[in-house]
A and B are shown apart, each in its own frame.
Chain A
């Protein structure tokens, strides 16, 4: 960690701390991991997003491609600050509201800002990849979720409905953490 300490000045670290939920140690750690992803990486390098999916913390995550998509602003590459954004959302200190927001975006596969039945079905398929559910079960599962969560009954889950349904689930906040 010796060299990375001199890469950031005090003001830069404080500025990063103001916009993320990370402490300065965590920011330096993230930088260290970023530089290890490829050769000759500096602060302004932009790496292809598939390298982020190769991070050991994300390698076995079924949603790693969605995570990489969300945090890369141009859809192709990820820079150091994007990685910081990602770690900030997934860190321990981030509030539940931010985590819920990004969980919603991760699950929104067709990116129309609403969770449709197709989105939910894709989520279930990703979760049970090795042993998929048969069609009847899938339909019943998705139907039950919609019935319980879709309050205004338009067949889509808006963010408010998603937040209301999942905020009460005891675990999302605890499990939605990636520690580095």
Chain B
């Protein structure tokens, strides 16, 4: 974000700036008329853009809506011109230019759609758009379409209407529209992006959960029903509320965990066979694959929007602040006041940074560096400590054996969750002290550190959980009978604890602040901010847990969905109830520098997606370890008595080879490690190619910028010449001989000069 660099080319033009401004606004009638008649000010770019689309031919239909709109720039009618000319002339002009572009008038449905979209994209009032549309349709020469052409046309029109109806339906079913509107109105787009992220995760979980339910949960329940087994075991049915927290008790013998699933064929409906083992593995593969596709595409899209399309090198912090500073979604006056003050402070900060040319004294630089290194070491130390703590707790637990007391069992999840909730707050504090120039640098660092913390703690836990699975009954008499159920139980406990603890912390901090502020210290203490980073990281963490545990506990996505819905309403209430104290005094405002104002919304989304993807990769890796390396338990689960879960794939291949040879060969090819490595290498090459292409284009953009600047100088030169001619000043003005580069041009102009007619 440190992009207040001074463009070297424009420095030279600084001195002449004032002179040129007076030239342009001189009110000289000749120059004025010429300037107003310049084609660049009466832009009509429809023809050229259509030509490029025609040359690309079929590429039109495959472009995304975004690309298409950018390729079709609006036809501008400047407000000055619109005042001076009549409405009728304008309409005629526009209709003429539309009709001259062949890609919109060849009578096909696609041409009509392009035509109507071009009209819609014009920045005019509705009345004018309607008259243009009527005239265009009246004058378009409809080609005779044969039978087939008519059919194609009518299907295309019907398809368009159908798509519009689906769109309308999706919009009307927009989840949580009113609560989101009220939150955005009061707090702006930063907080809105957090709630959008929550909605995104929820909408990701719903179809995947449905997938798991339909293919794993429901068939097995039906099978047990038809087999007349009792779903809930008759013994040990003492339901105390504690089972909901520990996930143990009678729940460990239900379909909630992997343990109870049969390992062969079952009959959900009598007469129909259903291979539970294959279905379990394949559904899990489909689940992770679906999540991967959705997240990877969202991440790619957001990265493109945030970093590639928004060219960081040419954007200017001042321009962004002034022209793109106001949040039009804000509707409450306190939020508006806050926004105005924050804009003021950011502008002041930018100006002061611009004035003190970034030459800090060497001492300060060294001091800052040392401080940053210290802080990094501190955070590494904290990470190691938390990891060691978890390791210690697990080790002592494994030494104790099966724990009798309830509290011992809950100690580890409680401790881990506490670490994961509190340390990110500490990391935020550390990052703020590190004195980064842009707050964004500090935030990225905090996000990375918190993600590392989550990964490390979860990694340590998984190591111990899987170690139970590798336990050899001959050497160790205390091997658990069904380690998969234990893993599932542990993850479930983590999820529940995470939820409960975040509830407790939210209410506790807000409540304490309210109490303290009403009793004393109102002016010095800043109200608790809705920390977008912290909350977003919590969401990522809970979703990582969900993915981690889905393999062992197929019902976990459903529980996470319920948790997300509850979190939405709770956060909404806390944000609106507790977070709306306006920071009106200047002193409070400084402390009150809200994180929401630092976030640029599109970058925020890109960062969330990145951390989300990292969490997914962590979960995928650990599940992969379970699938490939850990031996399933002998007595329970759909993979019992096998060497590893991956053996199922070999079994599937063998079966397919016998029945459908080609499918078997295909599956064995796809799962061969050589092929996968080759695909990865190819992908990396593609990414490298795209990156080199992008940097090449950036250089072209820079060259074009300089060219435009030169053209500007040319224009001013010519205008001055024209002015001097028009005022009959034939004797060479002094500035003509000044510019050495135009020395040659100056001779040719004077020699080919036409005498002014008086």
Contact = CB atoms under 8 A, between A and B. Distances in A.
Nearest to A113: B78
Interface stretch (B571-579, B654-662, B705-713): B705-713
A110 B577 CA distance: 43
A38 interface: no
B203 interface: no
A171 B328 contact: no
A34 to B, nearest CB: 14
A128 B323 contact: no
Contacts of A148: 7, 10, 316, 318-319
Contacts of B320: 166, 169-171
Contacts of B79: 105, 108, 111, 113
Interface in B28-76: 40-41, 43, 65-66, 69-70, 73-74, 76
Contact of B324 (A56, A101, A120, A166): A166
A57 B185 CA distance: 8
A95 B80 contact: no
B757 interface: no
Contacts of B14: 147
A160 B7 contact: no
Nearest to B352: A137
A144 B712 CA distance: 18
B329 A149 contact: no
B643 interface: no
A170 B305 CA distance: 8
B135 interface: no
A88 B316 CA distance: 29
A142 B332 CA distance: 29
A39 B705 CA distance: 55
Contact of B601 (A101, A162, A174): A174
A140 B354 contact: yes
Interface stretch (B226-234, B306-314, B529-537, B556-564): B306-314
Interface in B332-384: 332-333, 335-337, 340-341, 343-344, 347-348, 351, 354-355
Contacts, number: 234
B591 interface: no
A145 B322 CA distance: 9
B709 to A, nearest CB: 6
B24 interface: yes
A128 B76 contact: no
A177 B316 CA distance: 22
A87 to B, nearest CB: 11
A162 B189 CA distance: 23
Nearest to A89: B123
B181 to A, nearest CB: 6
B315 interface: yes
A45 interface: no
B343 A127 contact: yes
Nearest to A146: B17
A170 B328 contact: no
A101 B340 contact: no
A97 B133 CA distance: 20
A20 B355 CA distance: 46
Interface in A104-149: 105, 107-108, 111-113, 120, 123-124, 127-131, 133, 137, 140-141, 144-149
B319 A85 contact: no
B37 to A, nearest CB: 13
Contact of B172 (A25, A103, A147): A25
Interface residues of B, number: 92
A175 B328 contact: yes
B318 A128 contact: no
Chain B interface, DSSP helix/strand/loop, else mixed: helix
B341 A96 contact: no
A175 B327 contact: yes
Contacts of A141: 318, 322, 347, 351
Given A111-B79, A130-B341, A171-B601, A152 B715 contact: yes
B84 to A, nearest CB: 11
Interface in B552-592: none
Contact of A62 (B326, B329, B354, B602): B326
Given A19-B133, A145-B316, A175-B601, A73 B127 contact: yes
Contact of A60 (B21, B133, B331): B331
Contacts of A14: 161
B200 interface: no
A47 interface: no
A69 to B, nearest CB: 11
Interface in A1-23: 14-15, 17-21, 23
Given A23-B167, A97-B69, A97-B73, A145 B119 contact: no
B603 A170 contact: yes
A156 B43 CA distance: 17
A158 B41 contact: yes
A23 B168 contact: yes
B609 to A, nearest CB: 15
Interface in B112-137: 116, 119-121, 123, 125-127, 129-130, 133
Contacts of A131: 340-341, 344
A59 B316 contact: no
Contacts of A102: 123
Nearest to A57: B331
B69 A60 contact: no
A24 B171 CA distance: 9
Contacts of A84: 126
Contacts of A90: 328
Contacts of A171: 320, 324, 600-602
A153 interface: yes
B417 interface: no
Interface string A146-180: 11110111111011101001101111101111110
Contact of B332 (A60, A107, A123, A152): A60
B322 A127 contact: yes
B164 interface: yes
B24 A128 contact: no
Contact of B126 (A19, A103, A177): A19
A81 interface: yes
Contacts of B116: 18
B20 interface: yes
Interface in A67-107: 71, 73, 81-82, 84-85, 90, 95-98, 101-103, 105, 107
B716 interface: yes
A155 B18 CA distance: 8
A149 B70 CA distance: 20
B13 interface: yes
B264 interface: no
A61 B326 contact: yes
Contact of B319 (A17, A59, A166, A176): A166
Contacts of B347: 124, 128, 133, 137, 141
Nearest to A22: B171
A53 interface: no
Nearest to B42: A113
A26 interface: yes
Contact of B322 (A20, A120, A129, A130): A120
B135 to A, nearest CB: 14
A137 B320 CA distance: 17
Contacts of B21: 154-155
Contact of B323 (A96, A169, A174): A169
Closest 5 CB pairs between A and B? A152-B712, A155-B21, A60-B336, A172-B324, A95-B69
10 contacts: A17-B164, A23-B171, A60-B336, A63-B326, A123-B322, A127-B325, A127-B344, A131-B344, A166-B319, A175-B328
Given A15-B130, A23-B171, 10 more contacts: A60-B331, A111-B80, A113-B78, A133-B347, A148-B7, A152-B715, A159-B78, A168-B311, A175-B327, A179-B329
